Amino acid sequence: MRHWIVIATAGALLAAAAYADLGVLAFVPQMEPLTRVEPVYPEAARAQHISGLVRLLATIDPQGLVVDVEVLTGPSVLRQAAIVAVKKWTFQPVLRGGRSVAAITDQLVSFIISGEPTQRDPAAEMIASAQRLAQLNSQFPRDAAQVLADTEQQAAGATGEHRFYALTGLAKAALAAGNEEKAGNYATEMLAIAVQYPKDWNYGNAVHFGNMILGRIALHHGDVTSARRYLLESGRTPGSPQLGSFGPNVTLAKELIEVNERATALEYFALCRSFWKMGGQKLDDWSKIVRAGGMPDFGANLLF
C-alpha cells in the first residue's frame, strides 16, 4: 500500500510592488507558518507516480496573510496544488522598526509517494531559483543581529514540538550574532527538550548541533577539555535525514585541529561514519590529511 506524505517547510515571495514603493519589504528565509493547510495530492500526479518538491516564494502582508505565490521549481503537475495550499497559510507578521511589514519568504512543499523516486528539477531551473534567492538576499540584506531578531520573533510563543524545532535556528542565529549567552541557553534548552522526542526526525540534529554550539562556546573561552567532550557528543548523534545526506558540521573539529587537538578530530570523524554512510571516502580523506599534520578543505561541511 502506498502512502502519500506531504511535508512543508518554511518560506515565500514578495510580489507586491506597492509595498516596495513604501520601502516596507523584508526577505525572511524559511519562515515557519503559524497555520498550514496540507496540499491535496493531484490525481494526475498520483496516477503517474510522480513525487517531488515544489519550491516557491510567498508574499505575506503585514498581517501575515499570503497575498501572492511564485513557483521557482518543481514538477508542473504538482505546482498548482502547492500554490492553492500555501495561499491558505498564515505567518507571524514580520517586524521592522517595531512595526509589521510585508515580507517575502521561501517555501518548500514536498509531495512524496512512498517507494517512488523523487523527480529531480532541471539544472537550469535550479540555477535560476538560486539566483532569485541570492537576489532577494542582496536586495533585502539582514545583518546577524537582524537574523537573530527575526528568528526570535518568529519563534515567539512556540511550545512543545514547535519550540523543539525552533531551537536549532535560535541557537545558531545567536551564536552568529555573537551572543554566546543566548546561544548557550538555547543549545542547553534544545538538548534538554530533545530527550522528550527520541523518535523525532529532528532528535539527531538537536544532539549534533546542541553539543556543537556548546563546544564552540567552551573553546572560545579556553575550555579545551569541555570542547573536546562536546565535539564527541555531537558525533554520537543517531543521525537525521539531513546529517545522513549532507554529513556533519565540522566547524568545531576544525577549530580543535587549529589548537592541535588532532586526535579528538579523528575520533569525531570515526563517530560520524555511523550516520554518514555516503561520506566514507570524504571522512577517509579528511583523516589522512589530519594525520599528516594538514588541514582538510572541509567545504560545505563548515556551513552552519
The confidence score (pLDDT) of residue 1 equals: 32
Closest CA to 209 of 303, 277, 84: 303
Residues 230, 110 within the same domain: no
C-alpha cell at 236: 554520537
Question: What are 35-55's pLDDT values in tens digits?
Answer: 999 999 999 998 998 888 999
Question: What are 210-249's pLDDT values in tens digits?
Answer: 999 999 999 999 999 999 999 999 999 999 988 998 999 9
Residues 119, 190 within the same domain: no
> pTM to 2 decimals?
0.79
What's the CA gap between 272 and 136, in Å, rounded?
A: 35
Which residues neighbour 26 within 8 Å (Cβ) at sequence distance 6 or greater?
A: 14, 94, 96, 101, 102, 103, 104, 140, 142
On the CB side of 127, CA atoms within 13 Å amount to: 3
pLDDT range class, residue 77, cuts 50, 70, 90: very high
Mean residue pLDDT across the chain: 90
| Structural domain boundaries, residue 28 | 4-141
Question: What are 85-97's pLDDT values in tens digits?
Answer: 999 999 999 999 8
DSSP for 159-227 reads -HHHHHHHHHHHHHHHHHTT-HHHHHHHHHHHHHHHTT-TTSTTHHHHHHHHHHHHHHHHHHTT-HHHH
What's the CA gap between 166 and 32, in Å, rounded?
A: 9
Residues 8, 26 within the same domain: yes
pLDDT range class, residue 113, cuts 50, 70, 90: confident
Domain count, the chain: 2
Residues 173, 132 within the same domain: no
The confidence score (pLDDT) of residue 105 equals: 96
Residues 292, 169 within the same domain: yes
What's the CA gap between 14 and 69, in Å, rounded?
A: 8
- CATH at 91: 3.30.2420.10
Residues 159, 291 within the same domain: yes
The confidence score (pLDDT) of residue 183 equals: 98
- CATH at 155: 1.25.40
The confidence score (pLDDT) of residue 24 equals: 55
